[in-house]
Amino acid sequence: MIIVAFITGVLGPISILYIKYLLDKRKKKPDIVKDTLRVSELVDSKIEHIKDEFKADRVWISQFHNGGNFYPTGKSIAKFSIMYEVVSMGTTSVQSNFKNIPVNLFSKSINQLLVNDIIEIEDFTDETIATYGLKYIAEESGCKSAYLFAIKTIEDKFIGVLAIDYTKEVTRLDMESINHLQVHASSIGGVLMSYLQQ
């Protein structure tokens, strides 16, 4: 009786743990390259659709990330990079110009997005429209109108920006289009978070 109790009470759980260990060991580890390519394909497809649907010249997504550490405190430096971009024929890309940019260099625009979720700049040449420090970037990239949307998680964590640029002509988006783009930004946030949490 004591032997049976010992076998079922001690060796049974140990056997189960060992079998679980062997099964876990067999499971495939995530393929980071495959997963990255899958997410990139989804996001690229989504922003290509946005470009076509809203007749935009350039659509891009930036994401916040850790960009190194301050000396001597070791505190992380918040930075952002344009991770995804699509452009129409004849429109220049800006992606290579925005890699590892310290957040504090764009504090006006990023804070506006953090608080209000959107920046609407119908015409960069109109002095009555707030441009949140983005006017010189628009001039350099030939942007006439821009609409930027905060990408946030379900928990309201600000993780990136969806931007729609018009370089060929000044473009005014109506409220229905703005609302639709906010839905797209939320959807992209879901895709990015599901990837980041793997």
- In contact, 102 and 76? CB cutoff 8 Å: no
pLDDT at 5 exceeding the cut of 60: no
pLDDT at 125 exceeding the cut of 70: yes
- In contact, 187 and 129? CB cutoff 8 Å: no
The rounded distance, in Å, linking the Cα atoms of 159 and 65 is: 8
- Highest-confidence segment of 3-7, 14-18, 72-76, 135-139: 135-139
pLDDT at 10 exceeding the cut of 50: no
pLDDT confidence bin for 191, thresholds 50/70/90:
confident
Compare 190 and 5 and report the one with higher pLDDT: 190
pLDDT 10s digits, 18-31: 566 655 655 666 77
Tell me the angle at which helices 175-196 and 32-53 cross, rounded to the nearest 10 degrees: 180
pLDDT at 132 exceeding the cut of 90: yes
- In contact, 139 and 124? CB cutoff 8 Å: yes
pLDDT at 4 exceeding the cut of 90: no
Which pLDDT belongs to residue 6? 45
The structure's pTM equals 0.82
